[in-house]
């Protein structure tokens, strides 16, 4: 039996800007979410994860927070959030918030004070370093979004460190005053009744205090065809110096103590990137740290073959050592799973629905908690036909045309096929255009069709919850034929096989037929 609600939860991620606009300004908001919560609850999910809605200049669309306790007026008011939270709880939904605690906006009052001089009370709240004697940056660290990870500030005559945009300075979590201030902001939301946090890029809070250069990656050749070198930071071993240092877990221990202090303990799920996923999960979910780690292994930008999926699951699950994981196949940062997989498998557009459903079924057949990204239940394709003038994501704009960034998975949800902008907004222009290919998959049409893609997803969620085998127990990845992935779930004296055939021809596994591009959930059997 699961001891905590999050052990096997199905978590529905909402990107507020693109979910539903209630006031006609072209941007989704909290009231829009509240108005559609019944539809979310009807799907059978356990929890809603809200991407940031805090006050922000939106240079990284909310992942650059300028006030951790304030709802940005674009999304509504404090009362709008309270109404949303109360309604969600009334529908039996938990609510977790996306907290961006490794960095903030340059417009945060803390940074505005810190950058004034080297002696103010918050002078050490961020990561400042002197230039080299020749005036250049302190080391070779690169930003994930392009360019150096250091920006010169003329007032302090020092460089400040930022893993992402220049407008997102990294907080110095080695300073106990910083940790205390961030914890107080987290407590504000927990006291309101939120059920936990998804912690954004939590491995980026720690850095080498000696500021030594990153090593070059040893497993690739610079300038090669490897997708990791399409952007310069992919040529460095960023985990050697820039991120994921041992001391970084101190803050998580303090946050966990806070989460556990409530009568109903609150859930902490940390986003971890990197190449050694299982190792990092085991380290970050030690007793007294995170409850679970949000895993990236199924979020490969270009999709994965059956063989690669098998390798990923073996690599992660065989080394988990009993620690908790949260799987996801889509989110606000990568192309939608339907498009990724069809392209990776070399399939035709008409195969999109079948492949998308298989990936939903795969996700829901895994152990631990899982995250469905809004629109995944509709089988939405990636909006990869956006024009340059439509792009909002600074990452995509920086690397256009070889890389489109994250806007392609952030376009608005189509609520009504026949309505203006598919019912997302009444504004003349939404913040991102609705993809016309999404209209036949609109929510209203799918709710009216008992055989729709959404109806099938709802059925799979119900199947996952129908017994202990898919919500608890163990998971083994079995040796399987080409183009197939076979999982075995077991609980107590029962086991169940789930088989996936990603090939275009029917296949057999131990005498059982699996049709092309389909899955088979075997009946539970004695162990």
289 in any annotated domain: yes
Active-site residues, by number, are 200, 271
* CA torsion angle 471 368 524 501 (round to 10): 140
- Gyration radius from the chain CA atoms: 23
160 in any annotated domain: no
Q: Is the pLDDT of residue 524 over 90?
A: no
- Provide mean pLDDT across the span 2-14: 91
Q: Look at phi and psi of residue 140 and say left if phi exceeds 0, alpha if psi is from -120 to 50, else beta.
A: alpha
- Taking only the tens place, the pLDDT of each residue in 350-370 is 999 999 999 999 999 999 999
Of 111, 242, 241, 99, give the one whose Cα is nearest residue 169: 111
Q: What is the DSSP string of 50-104?
A: EPP-EE---SSTTSS-SEEEEE-TTT--HHHHHHHHHHHHHTT-EEEEEE--SB-
Same domain assignment for residues 374 and 478: no
Give exposure, 140-164, as e/b (b: 16+ Cβ within 10 Å). bbbbbbbebbbbebeebebbbbbbb
131 in any annotated domain: no
Q: What is the pTM of this model?
A: 0.96
CATH value at residue 371: 3.20.20.80
What 3-state DSSP class applies to 480? coil
Final residue belonging to a domain, choices 446, 464, 482:
464
Same domain assignment for residues 442 and 493: no
Same domain assignment for residues 501 and 371: no
- Provide mean pLDDT across the span 285-312: 93
Q: What is the domain range of residue 298?
A: 5-104+175-464
Same domain assignment for residues 282 and 230: yes
Q: Is the pLDDT of residue 224 over 90?
A: no
- Taking only the tens place, the pLDDT of each residue in 83-136 is 999 999 999 999 999 999 999 999 999 999 999 999 999 999 999 999 999 999
Same domain assignment for residues 262 and 331: yes
Final residue belonging to a domain, choices 437, 464, 491:
464
438 in any annotated domain: yes
Residue 479 burial (C-beta neighbours within 10 Å; 0-12, 13-18, 19+): exposed
Same domain assignment for residues 207 and 315: yes
Same domain assignment for residues 194 and 279: yes
How far does CA 88 lie from the centroid of its chain?
21
Lowest mean pLDDT segment, chosen from 10-24, 33-47, 255-269, 290-304: 290-304
pLDDT at 275: 66
Backbone φ and ψ for 289, nearest 5 degrees, come out as: -115, -135
Same domain assignment for residues 241 and 388: yes
165 in any annotated domain: no
Same domain assignment for residues 181 and 93: yes
Final residue belonging to a domain, choices 417, 445, 464:
464
152 in any annotated domain: no
- Provide mean pLDDT across the span 266-291: 88
**What Cα–Cα distance (Å) separates residue 214 from each residue in 57, 222, 243, 394?**
31, 15, 10, 25
Same domain assignment for residues 350 and 445: yes
Distance CA 228, CA 457 (A): 33
Q: What is the DSSP string of 187-246?
A: HHHHHHT--EEEETTGGGG---TT-PPPEEPSSS-TTSS-GGGSSGGGGEEGGGTTS--G
Q: Is the pLDDT of residue 274 over 80?
A: no
Distance CA 350, CA 358 (A): 14
Same domain assignment for residues 409 and 510: no
HSE-CB of 527 using CA atoms within 13 angstroms: 11
* Mean pLDDT of the residues in the chain: 94
370 in any annotated domain: yes
Look at the chain and report how many structural domains it folds into: 2
169 in any annotated domain: no
Same domain assignment for residues 387 and 499: no
CATH value at residue 498: 2.60.40.1180
Q: Is the pLDDT of residue 220 over 70?
A: no
């Amino acid at each position: 039996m699961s001891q905590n609600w999050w052990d096997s939860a199905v978590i529905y991620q909402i990107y507020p800007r693109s979910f539903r606009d209630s006031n006609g300004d072209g941007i989704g908001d909290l009231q829009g979410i509240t108005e559609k919560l019944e539809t979310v609850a009807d799907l059978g999910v356990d929890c809603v994860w809200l991407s940031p809605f805090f006050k922000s200049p939106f240079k990284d669309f909310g992942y650059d927070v300028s006030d951790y306790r304030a709802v940005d007026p674009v999304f509504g008011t404090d009362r709008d959030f309270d109404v949303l939270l109360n309604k969600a709880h009334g529908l039996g939904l938990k609510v977790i918030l996306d907290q961006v605690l490794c960095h903030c906006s340059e417009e945060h009052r803390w940074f505005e004070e810190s950058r004034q001089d080297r002696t103010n009370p918050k002078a050490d709240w961020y990561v400042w370093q002197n230039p080299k004697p020749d005036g250049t940056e302190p080391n070779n660290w690169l930003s994930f979004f392009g360019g150096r990870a250091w920006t010169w500030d003329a007032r302090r005559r020092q460089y400040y460190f930022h893993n992402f945009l220049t407008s997102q300075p990294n907080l110095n979590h080695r300073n106990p005053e910083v940790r205390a201030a961030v914890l107080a902001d987290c407590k504000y939301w927990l006291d309101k009744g939120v059920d936990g946090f998804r912690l954004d890029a939590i491995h980026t809070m720690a850095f080498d205090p000696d500021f030594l250069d990153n090593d070059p990656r040893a497993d690739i050749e610079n300038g090669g065809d490897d997708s990791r070198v399409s952007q310069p930071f992919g040529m460095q071993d960023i985990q050697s110096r820039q991120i994921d240092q041992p001391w970084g877990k101190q803050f998580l221990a303090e946050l966990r103590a806070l989460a556990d202090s409530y009568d109903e303990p609150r859930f902490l799920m940390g986003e971890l990137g990197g190449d050694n996923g299982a190792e990092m999960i085991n380290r970050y979910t030690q007793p007294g740290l995170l409850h679970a780690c949000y895993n990236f292994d199924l979020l490969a930008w270009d999709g994965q073959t059956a063989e690669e999926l098998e390798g990923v699951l073996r690599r992660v699950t065989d080394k988990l050592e009993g620690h908790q994981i949260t799987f996801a196949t889509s989110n606000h940062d990568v192309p939608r799973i339907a498009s990724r997989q069809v392209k990776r498998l070399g399939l035709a557009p008409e195969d999109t629905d079948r492949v998308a459903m298989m990936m939903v079924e795969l996700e829901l057949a895994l152990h631990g908690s899982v995250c469905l990204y809004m629109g995944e239940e509709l089988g939405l394709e990636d909006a990869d036909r956006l024009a340059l003038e439509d792009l909002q994501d600074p990452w995509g704009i920086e690397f256009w045309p070889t890389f489109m960034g994250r806007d392609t998975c952030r376009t608005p949800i189509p609520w009504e096929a026949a309505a203006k902008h598919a019912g997302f907004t009444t504004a003349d222009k939404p913040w991102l255009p609705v993809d016309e290919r999404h209209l036949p998959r609109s929510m209203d049409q799918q709710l009216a069709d008992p055989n729709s893609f959404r109806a099938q997803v709802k059925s799979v969620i119900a199947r996952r919850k129908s017994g202990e085998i898919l919500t608890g127990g163990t998971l083994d990845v079995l040796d399987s034929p080409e183009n197939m992935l076979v999982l075995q779930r077991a609980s107590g004296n029962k086991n169940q096989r789930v088989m996936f055939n990603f090939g275009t021809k029917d296949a057999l596994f131990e005498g059982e037929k699996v049709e092309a591009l389909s899955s088979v959930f075997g009946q539970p059997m004695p162990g």
